[in-house]
Amino acid sequence: MLSDQMNLDPLDGLLSAAIEESTGRYAFYLAFLEHELVVIGTVSDESTLQLKYVEMEGQLVLPVYSSWHKFHSVYGSKYAYIKIPAYLLLDAVELNDPWVLNPGFVPSKMIIPEELQTLKDGTILDYCWEQLSEQDRKAMLEERLTEIPELSFQVLIKCLESYPSIRKAYVTRIYRPSASEQPFPLVGLELDDSDRETASALIASINAAVRELPQTDHAFEFVVLDDAVPLAKSMKAQLQPVYVRKTIEDIRSMFR
């Protein structure tokens, strides 16, 4: 029974795929950041973790397990443990020593300090995103898009229509480790070049306007699309815009 429960661990398949093929790394890292890990330790107060590092092959490492069943099969009731999402653990500890994911099991993975830091700041996701094929990028963006209710789109578009400097808007859902455990709707905006210098003020205004609109439970976040950012570039290349500004010429053409 215990082996059956451990075999249901979704990270195992993702890690195996990432080991076999570099295109599988993005999905693994994304899932890992959101996954609840089990580590040896206690909480001394509301903000301080007391964790136990162990020695493996001559160096101190932090063993982290992707399920309680795996943790218990190794340590039993010998140690107290903490369950914590990976992104919160990254914020809570110094990243001077490696972590080992699921030591004693196959597959397992050592995550070195440099790798941990890029997981914490999200840059590893940008790197791995670029390694995906165009087909995989499109599939992932569109899959996340379907999770947003149609009513939320309608509310969003109603708001965007009042900002004439917005040419197009694209929407997907994205996970940012430092912000939230759950993916959030991300709106990528194409602006007129003359308005890019005032983009921060524009985005602040849009955020305030969306929050005031009724009938939406989604807290959209907005970003000006920059082709230098891999995900932003992919949104423009792989997604159809949810909003396209109507110009005077567009309106006139309807009567020709």
140/125 same-domain check: no
221/143 same-domain check: yes
* Overall domain count for the chain: 2
* Residue ranges in the chain modelled with pLDDT below 50: 1-6, 178-181, 251-255
- The CA–CA distances, whole Å, from 97 to 43, 54, 55, 221 equal 20, 11, 11, 34
Closest CA to 125 of 29, 237, 33, 221: 29
152/81 same-domain check: no
Q: pTM score, two decimals?
A: 0.66
- The pLDDT assigned to 215 comes to 54
pLDDT in tens, 52-80: 999 998 999 999 999 999 999 999 999 99
Domain span at 209: 133-253
- The pLDDT assigned to 122 comes to 83
Torsion sign over Cα 209, 212, 215, 221 = positive
Decide which of 76, 95, 129 is a domain's last residue.
Answer: 129
13/123 same-domain check: yes
The helix, strand and coil proportions of the chain, stated in percent and rounded to the nearest 5, come to 45, 20, 30
- The pLDDT assigned to 195 comes to 62
- Distance between CA atoms of residues 53 and 110, nearest Å: 14
- Distance between CA atoms of residues 173 and 219, nearest Å: 11
